[in-house]
Structure formats: structure tokens, C-alpha cells
Structure 1
Amino acid sequence: MEQQKAIPRELLPVVQYLRSKAEVKTKTGVLGGKRHDYFKGKAALKALLSPSYAKIHPSGSPPITDEAAASALLNTIMPYTFFVRVERTEQSIAGAKVLQINPERMNQTFDGESYYAWLYDGNQLMVIAGAALMVLVVLAGVMFPLWPMSLRIGVWYLSMAALGFVGLFFVIAIIRLILYIITWIAVSPGIWLFPNLFEDVGFVDSFIPLWAWDIPPPKKVKKSKAEKQAEKEQKKANKKNKLINGTQEASAASSGNDTPAKED
């Protein structure tokens, strides 16, 4: 799009951050017969207020310190049509919500409660590099009979090592299950060998600690509707008090500035 090419250089890293690095939660919708990722406005506001954005913050723009500044920055980006405000309909196509553009709301300011569809796919360099690498791997596999004997022997040893590693993993999984069943019967609640083996952690952390008791996590106590309502009312009261205090401080400061200086 021509509008996207006209974006100032200092704003492009912000768009790329929101599209690829900020991990803004997106869903897939259908807009104009094509699938597009879309997100809620408050997700983008939250991303700009996160510490990770400060690392790529453009030097030519003011720092993002509050939600108003983040909204102003997104308002500056909107005319370049990297994303567009949309409304979700009740219709769905293959599990994806049908999106539509409301012309009456096109020129409104960025709203955290509205939805926005991406018209920008992000930096395609990694996609192109991945496709080229896949082609090279396929060609290398097809030409395997033409490889030198030393390389073919090396690949064979590597494949055997990989199979051995996978086999060792299955052996550990079976042993830890047997150990857990035995200890669950003998000394309940049971002991897990390598308790983090199947957790979403790094490779080294998967084998730390060596063992642990199978202690279930504490159950979350669900709050009643009355407690939730009381919390909401308390938050509203706190916000109201902050506004009142801020107004009083501002009026006090202005009255202090308006006081004429005493003559000597």
C-alpha cells in the first residue's frame, strides 16, 4: 500500500514491534473475503507500556509513560493503514469471525475496547530465509548418494546418536512412571523423578531438581459475586479519591501561583 510506504522512519520500528515482537494476542478473522489477524486495542496499549518496548523506543518520539501517550502514538500510526478499525459480526467462516469496516468510525481516535485488523504481514525476511533453507535441505537429501563417503558415515553416526537420545528419553519417562506408582503405593503422595521433565522450561531446567514429592498446587478459591462487586466498588472509590486529590492539589498549586508577591 502507498500509505504504508509513506510512514516516517522512526515509526516503522513501532509497527514491526507490535506485529512481530510484542506478542500482541491476535485472532484470525475474515475481512473482505481474506483472512486477517486482528487484535483488541488494549492489547496494543499494554504492549507499548511494557518494558520490552523501551528497548526499541524511537529516539525521535516522546517516551511512552501512560495510556494516553500510547494511544496518541497509535493515532499517529493509524493513517498509514498498517491496521484498520473493524467490528466483529455474528457470522463465522470455518471458525473465523467475519469482520467488517464501519466507515463512520474510521476517523475516530484509537480505542482500547475496539478491534483492529492487521493489513501488514510484518518483515518477510525470516519467511523467505526459512523457505530457502527448506529447499536446500530437500536438495541435499536428494543428492545424498553423491555425498563423499566420510560425510555419509558422519550422518549415519549422527542419526544413531539422535535415535539413542530419543530412546533414552522414553526409557527415563517409563522409569519415572514406574517409580511414581511404587512410591504412590508405599509412601503417598508419591515421588516424581525429574518432575520438570514435561514442563515448559529450558532443556537444563527439565532435569532440575532430580526428584520431588507429588504435591498438588493449591486450589484457587473462587470469589463470590458479592466479593467481586465489592472489589469493583472499592476500585471505583479509589479512582474517585485519586481524581479528587489530584484536583485539589492542582487548585492549591494554581492558587499559590496566583498569590501576589509581598513588597519589601
Structure 2
Amino acid sequence: MSQAANTIPANPQTPLAIASLLRHHKLLKQRLGIFQSRTADFFRYKRFVRALESPEYKKKSQSQPDLYPPVTSEEQAKLIFITLIKSQIVVPIKKLHSNELAEHDLSANKDYPNLLLLKQAQLTPDEYYVWNYNPKSMWDYAMVVLVVTGILALVCYPLWPMSMRRGSYYVSLAALVFLGAFFTIAIIRLIIFLLSLIVVSGGKSHGFWLFPNLFEDCGILESFKPIYGFGEQDTYTYIKKQKRIKRRQDKKDKAKKVDN
């Protein structure tokens, strides 16, 4: 084996450049998990090796070999990955099972698995790693510009022409009407729900909801669909949960068919 294959890339910009290139690569098949009280993308080590062997990386390594070292063996891929670990761009983690959460004072999350930081990386194919790097997108910079522009516009309010002041007044009035209508609907739906528990369902938990998705984690339009529902069966969270259960069951059924 050549000496180049046994040396870690010397360019200090290499880890950051590789991370920027492969951060959202499709071959990583990343998933979201709860890591240190926040959501983070995690992946298997073998998936990263495949991303290093992808056409996108090969093209970069041919044009900029000093920044993107060529990967022709598993040993070279391992050395490159070590540079990312040493730079704290990726860190080794363990995906906890439900029976392990209590040992680490963690509570179960219905949407994402809990991830625990490991002290040492083993670099085994199925070992999990989490990204500790989130590059800024053009949208992030655009949001900063919009926020600064908005603040400056508010500061310069006394200099606005009368037509713009009148327009801002109507916009503010419309926003207040919208908020008032929203809270009114929220109060009315709660009253109807409580009455339905007493009159219709006899105290059971499947009462009548007006706009059952109003406070669900979904889009604005989806919050008002359907118009009414009973219990949690029509809520966005429940439907999403059932779809997730169905996908898991389909995977189990496929695995059984393969084994047979």
C-alpha cells in the first residue's frame, strides 16, 4: 500500500469541503433523531463510504485532488472519515431503544429516535454518526437580509409617505381581525368539544372536534381540513402515526417473504 493511502489529508480545509459536498447526499439515507435535545441528521458509516465512491465526489476529486482526496480503497475512505471525526464535524452515536431511555434519563419521542453520544468511534459498517455541521443556505442569508430590511423600515416609519402609513394601518387591522377570529374559533371548538363529551359520548375521550387539525403540526391549509372530526382519528398526528405504523408493518412483511 502506498504512503498516500496511509496518511490523513493534510489540507486543513478538506474536512469542511467534504462535509459541504456530502452533507445532504442521497446515498447517506439520513434520518432525523433527537440528539442533545435537538433534531439532527444521522447516518451509518457504510453509507458515507458509498457517498465517497459516488460520481459527484469522484468528479470533485479529479478536479481538486488537494481538497477532495481520491478514494480508491476502503482504507482511504476510513482516513478521510477520521479527519471529519477529529474536526468534530461528525460524532459517533448510538440509537437508543425504548428500554434504554430510562437509563439515560430520556423520554421517548413518538416521531424521532433518541441518540446518545459515544466516547469512541469504532468505524464499523453499521455504526451511526450524527452531523455536527449545518452549512448556511441562500435562504438563511435571504432571511437575515429581510429581517434587517424590516427593522430599518420600522425605524424609518416617521419618514414614510402618508399612503404607506395608511396601507400599514389596514394591514395591521387585518392581522388583528385574523388573530381575533382564530382565538374565537379556538374557544368555540373547545366549548363544543366539552359539551360533546358530556352530551354525546358520555365522558369518553372521542368527542366532537371542530377543525381537529387546528393546532396540529401541519400547514396552514391542512389546519382547517377536515372541518370536523371525532376523537383523534381525523387529526394530522394520528393519520401520520398510522401511516408510519403501516410502513413498518409492510417492511416486516417484506422481510418475512425474503426469509421464506
User: TM-score under structure 1 normalisation?
Assistant: 0.51
Structure 2: state its 5+ residue gaps. Answer: 1-11, 59-73, 95-115, 243-251
Contact 1:194 1:209 in 2 (8 A): yes
Q: Which has the larger radius of gyration?
A: 1
CA RMSD of aligned residues (A): 4.9
Q: Is the 8 A contact 2:30 2:43 kept in 1?
A: no
In structure 2, relative to structure 1, the CA distance for the partners of 1:131 and 1:74 (3 Å cut) is farther
1:39-58 mapped onto 2 (5 Å cutoff): 41-42=43-44, 45=47, 58=55
1:190–1:214 Cα contact (<8 Å) kept = yes
> Residues 104-119 of structure 1 correspond to what in structure 2 (within 5 A)?
109=123, 111-115=125-129, 118=132
Superposed, 1:57-206 pairs within 5 Å as 58=55, 75=78, 78=81, 81=84, 83-86=89-92, 109=123, 111-115=125-129, 118=132, 120-123=133-136, 125-188=138-201, 189-206=206-223
Cα distance between partner residues in 2 of 1:194 and 1:152? 36
Match of 1:15 in 2: 23
1:113 partner amino acid: E
* Residue in structure 2 matching 1:4, options 15, 28, 52: 15
- Mapped partners of 2:165, 2:33: distance in 1: 45
CA positional deviation for 1:144: 0.6
- Cα deviation for residue 84 of structure 1 reads 4.6
* Contact 1:6–1:80 (CA under 8 A) maintained in structure 2: no
In 2 relative to 1, CA 38–185 (structure 1 residues): closer, same or farther, beyond 3 Å?
closer
Q: Indicate which of 24, 27, 33 corresponds to 1:25.
A: 33
Q: Which residue of structure 2 lines up, in the alignment, with residue 94 of structure 1? A: none
Q: Distance in 2 between matches of 1:153 and 1:15?
A: 47
Consecutive aligned runs of 4 or more in structure 1 exceeding 6 Å deviation = none
- For 1:122, what is the secondary structure of its paired residue? coil
Q: Using the aligned pairs only, state the percent identity.
A: 33
| Alignment check: 8 A CA contact 2:91 2:131 kept | yes
How big is the shift at 1:153?
A: 0.6
Structure 2 CA distance for partners of 1:6 and 1:182, relative to 1, 3 Å: closer
Letter of the structure 1 residue corresponding to residue 44 of structure 2: K
Any gaps of 5 or more consecutive residues in structure 1? 30-36, 62-71, 89-96, 221-233, 246-264
2:193–2:208 CA contact under 8 A, matched in 1: yes
Which SS does the other structure have where 1:145 is aligned? helix
Q: Given the superposition, is the C-alpha separation of residues 86 and 215 from structure 1 closer, same or farther in structure 2, using an over 3 Å criterion?
A: closer
Contact 1:176–1:193 (CA<8 Å) still a contact in 2? yes
The alpha carbon displacement at 1:210 in A equals 1.7
Amino acid in structure 2 at the alignment position of 1:201: C
C-alpha distance in 2, partners of 1:183/1:200? 24
Code of the aligned partner of 1:15:
R
Q: State the alpha-carbon separation in 2 of the partners of residues 48 and 79 from structure 1.
A: 12
Counterparts of 2:23 and 2:198, CA distance in 1: 57
